[in-house]
């Protein structure tokens, strides 16, 4: 089953981030990065899920996670990590978390969990009826932001003036398109979904 958002985006079944069947709360993924350990051995990040529980994610992949570290500002405290097919792992220090062996099952998103959840809610809401710039009540001939296609403005001047307030939201809405394009109810095997390369 699909749903069409107000901006025309198709929202596939199970793509709502608050759907706990698709995105379960046990050390939920996605989770927000709190600490980064770019160790000599491998990249490890401490993550806090939406319920406030903390766990460790360790990259047991060929390059030890350094390909993620080389992307400018990708692995950063406050950003979000999403893990497909998470399997609980107990580390040698008896802490629990995730051991990642396939880099295509991990995505770092340059938005916080709160920004992503707020963006997910906004995508599912009706389009704004008036210009989103501060102190503007114009409601005719509105043009959608070319990035998110949801926030609307009466002209380029108001869009430019509002960009500082809209930038993080725009980035989060754009990041959600991968999640919204998947029919999460049609899972068949471990190879069914994979993230695009970083």
Q: What's the confidence (pLDDT) of residue 188?
A: 58
pLDDT tier at 41, thresholds 50, 70, 90: confident
Averaged over 47-52, what is the pLDDT?
81
What is the domain partition of the chain in residue ranges? 2-11+124-175, 31-110
| Two structure tokens written together for 16 | 């709502």
Average pLDDT over every residue of 65-81: 87
Six-digit token string for 4: 């069409």
SS (HEC) of the chain: CEEECCCCCEEECCCCCCCCCCCCCCCCCCEEEEEEEECCCCEEEEEECCCCCEEEEEECCCCCCHHHHCCCCCCCCCCEEEECCCCEEECCCCCEEEEECCHHHEEEECCCHHHHHHHHHHHCCCCCCCCCCCCCCCCCCCEECCCCCCCEECCHHHHHHHHHHHHHHHHHHHHCHHHHCCCHHHCCCCCCCCCCCC
For residue 11, what pLDDT band results from cuts at 50, 70 and 90?
low
| Dihedrals phi, psi of 120, to nearest 5 degrees | -60, -40
The pLDDT > 70 percentage for the chain reads 75
Angle of helix 156-175 versus helix 113-123 axis, rounded to 10: 110
pLDDT digits (tens, 9 = 90+) for 107-136: 898 999 889 989 988 888 888 899 999 999
pLDDT score for 26: 47
pTM for this predicted structure: 0.77
Spatial contact of 179 and 116, defined as CB atoms under 8 Å apart: no
What mean pLDDT comes out for the span 50-62?
Answer: 85
Q: CA neighbours within 13 Å on the CB side: how many for 23? A: 23
């Amino acid at each position: 089953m699909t749903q069409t958002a107000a901006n025309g985006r198709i929202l596939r079944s199970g793509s709502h981030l608050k759907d706990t069947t698709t995105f379960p709360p046990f050390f939920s993924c996605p989770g927000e990065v709190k600490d980064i350990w770019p160790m000599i051995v491998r990249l490890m990040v401490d993550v806090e899920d939406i319920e406030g529980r903390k766990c460790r994610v360790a990259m047991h992949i060929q390059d030890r996670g350094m390909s993620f570290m080389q992307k400018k500002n990708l692995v950063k405290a406050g950003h979000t990590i999403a893990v497909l097919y998470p399997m609980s792992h107990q580390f040698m220090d008896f802490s629990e978390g995730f051991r990642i062996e396939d880099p295509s099952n991990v995505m770092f998103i340059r938005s916080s969990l709160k920004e992503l959840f707020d963006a997910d809610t906004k995508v599912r809401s009706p389009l704004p009826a008036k210009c989103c710039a501060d102190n503007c009540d114009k409601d005719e001939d509105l043009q959608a932001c070319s990035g998110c296609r949801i926030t609307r403005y009466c002209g380029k001047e108001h869009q430019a003036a509002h960009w500082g307030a809209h930038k993080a939201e725009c980035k989060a809405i754009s990041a959600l398109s991968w999640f919204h394009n998947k029919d999460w109810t049609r899972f068949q095997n471990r190879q069914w979904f994979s993230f695009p390369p970083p």
